[in-house]
A and B are shown apart, each in its own frame.
Chain A
């Protein structure tokens, strides 16, 4: 038996969390060092897997680095991990942001033991979702994430943190209750919890306990809340805004990707016919999310809240790409999830730096910071340009693939019109992004920010890392798309052109 790469990646952070939580007498610095080690190794291994991943067409439709052990034989549950071209980029993204979340949290000195333990547990649960191939295991990881998130927001957050944390929990539980019902229906229909097995056989030969479309929507409910999709998005601005910086990074960067990932992995792969049937509705919801999200973003006056609302708009592109149901649009949607992860992760990290160094987050009161914080200004601008989809950043590659893929789709009626409307979101994005930059960095230099420090050495290290990733993917997107398309190609085979 070969080395269990995926288990190591998934569980190292939680082992670190246990050490931090239960070894007595650890000081602040020791806790942070442990956190670095137990997130750095998973990142290194994830990069190794990314390099070692078989990109040949033969590998299409298979999972790599699989681990499968019987878990609860009575209900046919397995401990089953594996990655394909869709999940591997998500694993790399989570390991990367999970690692960077530690230096981003370097200035947290309040109850560090609990903070870092929860942070590491959070990483494990997200990694678990992206690697699980068993529905029960998937659900378990999905639910575990709520606990650390609740504490991280309610204890180390800002503003109405209690309200936001509770809102997050209730919203997520509401979604996952429906999802659990979906998973149970799927289990009682097929007698299997294996995502791969159900995908291979399809649902056609079973008699479903409830209509198949109902199962589809039960599952979708959980994912739609997480992505989020209009109109179940209002938890996001509150949670993102009130969470501490590193948690906002994890939340926007990786956690909401679980929604898009779940839609591809379960909704589209297991229910290709239903997905096709209801795609027009979902595509309309995507367009609403894009335009409505962008419109509301234009009205925000709080730095973090603006970035949070922009996520709703950008996740609309993911939904559009998924339910346009072409290989190109699905590849674009997955790339958009990765891109949004690094771009918005960096935006939240930069917003955190601005807020921490200038002690101000109200866009009406900020201004002229380019003089006092030149490095922050440059990096913030790069992230912002990534967010408005400027060529040479990952944002352009991802959005462009979503657009070409969706526009050329023949599976969804009326998709051309919807795509054109979604492209309008790009113009609105230029509006809110440039307005934000103008408000924060341009204009007369303000005296009250004299003496506000620029990024220090450690901060430069992690923000430059993210800039490098954004540019790398933007200039040479094939580095990711060559992997993603291997994962997408079997899905394309499930979808048939009508007529």
Chain B
């Protein structure tokens, strides 16, 4: 693979964005369907090139080295743009361009007839380009730039239906909350550059990723430095991946069109935080305190988000909380795997990469089944005109394709053998059990809740009797016209393709091939791995726990043997706590907006500015004017008076000269 081909991965969707926004939208908006075709074409091209990259990195020792290009030099600040192509890059490229392609095809149907059709595909192209750029970047500043751009696209697409106040508020919230995390990431970059002097002697550039690796491995940066760096980077990851305590933006982000949620808020952008930790894993590996933090935040978020997912009535919000939870799972995987490696002592780049493989493998599988869950929700929403599951039900009969694919994705998410989710989840559970029993308990609890909430969705939405939908209730997202119906083939086909992937994507590591691809490990026979895993107790425990979750969901929402309402009544305080999202929105709202900051301190500043700072100026002016008026009275035209003043003045000057001179 040539360097030009690698750049093309980024430039194809970028070109699509430019053509749509500069040519199609302003001049040919009547032919806006071309915006969709162009986007599909460009992202399809990017997918082909990504697969080529995957092939090129398979069996390739280390990264494919291309020299970066000088971009801006000021003093010791030397920014060079380039591509860092290794197995992690390639796998992310495939995930991003693959899911994006499916989503764009699906959007042809979902967004049909929307007045913002061309704008939608322009933003989607820009998002895909930025996300690919983020993955490709060889330089931390370049990575940060694309990191911010995906945030921008997320903002633009959450607020796509800008006339809806909820969408506008959600977009703003998403941007500001993630920027809080980016503040940490930016500080980490400043801190990296601060240490430029320490590593410049070795010919290293502290902003370039391969050089950072080398500096870490040769011990040029101390543990304390690396700990701070790790914390800053992780802050960025927490914001982007909606981890506790910056998780509050993601559920609200569901105000955007559902395909956007599938691509940005499930499969790719929110996974960028996990990618970021993986990308800078050598830093984390060298500072185990940060790894512990990653594992704990991840594990806690996994449980925390799952509890909220169990009680939501909005289908998209359930899936959104599921995403937060699963991202926590990936963080947990990275953290505990890293700790396990660190415990073994000598950390080499290869070992670190093997640890990365555990977290990234779940990211890889999750991308497909979670995107599918969102596309399924979108399909349901398309048919019923609502996202409230209390108004759905019985859709199994009218929407068989949506139903089947959704159940497959749900089983994969729940971790049922031999679907994709099973394989990556099992690895995380296994390493958590080995490393930290409390975190393992949290992870297992999450498995139970995950199975419960996703089958709660299945039973509420697809089983029982149709409860009428809500025509036109949900603004533009609604396409309801009478009876619910199956979505058109252009939406169903991507769902079917994703459902196949939701089954088989996990097979990649059945024989250990994924780990080998990522850097270390050995392969075994496929069938040995496929069935051999069932000889261990852990997968059985996990599956029994998941099965219990599904069974409980069945009892409550399928057969209704247990009344959900009664359960809600009995556990009312807990239910309310979950349902009100632990009051985090209220807390932040009060903390940052209503009371303390904006309406408190900042309002005080505003008053201070008007009354004190400006008041002093105006006061000074008034005093001057008043003095002037007073002094004017002394100018009486009487020479005697002037003479008196002159005399006083001379006396003063003489006195001053006498004492000072």
Contacts and interface: CB of A to CB of B under 8 A. Distances in A.
Given A391-B149, A408-B193, A485 B172 contact: no
Nearest to A389: B148
A392 B145 contact: yes
A432 to B, nearest CB: 10
B74 A485 contact: yes
Interface stretch (B98-106, B163-171, B212-220, B434-442): B163-171
Nearest to A431: B176
Contacts of B584: none
A116 interface: no
Interface in B157-193: 159, 162-163, 165, 167-169, 171-172, 175-176, 179-180, 183, 186-187, 189-191, 193
Interface in B125-155: 141, 144-146, 148-149, 152, 155
Interface residues of A, number: 58
A442 B75 CA distance: 43
A403 B194 contact: no
A377 to B, nearest CB: 9
Contacts of B159: 442
Interface string A387-408: 0001110001100110111011
Contact of A407 (B168, B171, B176, B191): B191
A234 B617 contact: yes
A443 B169 CA distance: 9
B23 interface: no
Contacts of B180: 427
B72 interface: yes
Given A328-B74, A391-B149, A403 B186 contact: yes
B309 to A, nearest CB: 28
Interface in A239-265: none
A231 B163 CA distance: 40
A484 B191 CA distance: 24
B74 A296 contact: no
Given A299-B605, A492-B75, A443 B165 contact: yes
A371 B144 contact: no
A368 interface: yes
B179 A478 contact: no
A426 interface: yes
A105 interface: no
B76 interface: yes
A404 B190 contact: yes
A478 B72 contact: yes
A430 B152 contact: no
A461 interface: no
A234 B176 contact: no
B175 A481 contact: no
B168 A423 contact: no
Interface residues of B, number: 48
B74 A298 contact: no
B193 A426 contact: no
Contacts of A292: 605, 609
B601 interface: yes
Nearest to B147: A391
Contact of B602 (A299, A326, A430): A299
B152 A331 contact: no
A235 B614 CA distance: 8
Contact of A426 (B75, B183, B606): B183
A396 B146 CA distance: 12
Contacts of A416: 194
B17 to A, nearest CB: 12
Interface stretch (A4-12, A39-47, A356-364, A433-441): A433-441
Interface in A213-238: 230-231, 233-235
Interface in A288-340: 292, 295-296, 298-299, 326-328, 331-332
A430 B175 CA distance: 8
A444 interface: yes
Contact of A423 (B169, B175, B187): B187
B146 to A, nearest CB: 8
Contacts of A453: none
Nearest to A335: B74
B169 A400 contact: no
A131 interface: no
B31 interface: no
Interface string A478-496: 1001001100000010000
Nearest to B598: A298
Nearest to B75: A327
A477 interface: yes
A397 B75 CA distance: 15
A477 B81 CA distance: 13
A328 B163 contact: no
A385 interface: yes
A331 B187 contact: no
Given A390-B152, A391-B144, A391-B148, A404 B72 contact: no
A293 to B, nearest CB: 9
Contacts of A485: 73-75
B245 to A, nearest CB: 15
A209 interface: no
Contacts of A371: 163
A75 interface: no
Given A295-B602, A296-B605, A403 B190 contact: yes
B179 A426 contact: yes
A438 B602 contact: no
Contact of B162 (A167, A171, A370, A404): A370
B176 A430 contact: yes
Query: Which 8 interchain pairs have the tightest Cβ spacing?
Result: A391-B145, A442-B168, A234-B614, A327-B75, A299-B606, A407-B190, A295-B602, A478-B72
13 contacts: A299-B605, A331-B74, A370-B162, A385-B152, A391-B148, A397-B72, A401-B77, A404-B77, A423-B183, A427-B179, A434-B175, A442-B163, A444-B163
Interface of A: 167, 170-171, 230-231, 233-235, 292, 295-296, 298-299, 326-328, 331-332, 368, 370-371, 385, 390-392, 396-397, 400-401, 403-405, 407-408, 416, 419-420, 423-424, 426-427, 430-431, 434-435, 438, 441-445, 476-478, 481, 484-485, 492
Given A234-B617, A420-B187, A443-B165, 4 more contacts: A391-B145, A407-B191, A426-B179, A478-B73
Interface of B: 71-77, 141, 144-146, 148-149, 152, 155, 159, 162-163, 165, 167-169, 171-172, 175-176, 179-180, 183, 186-187, 189-191, 193-194, 196, 598, 601-603, 605-606, 609, 613-614, 617, 621
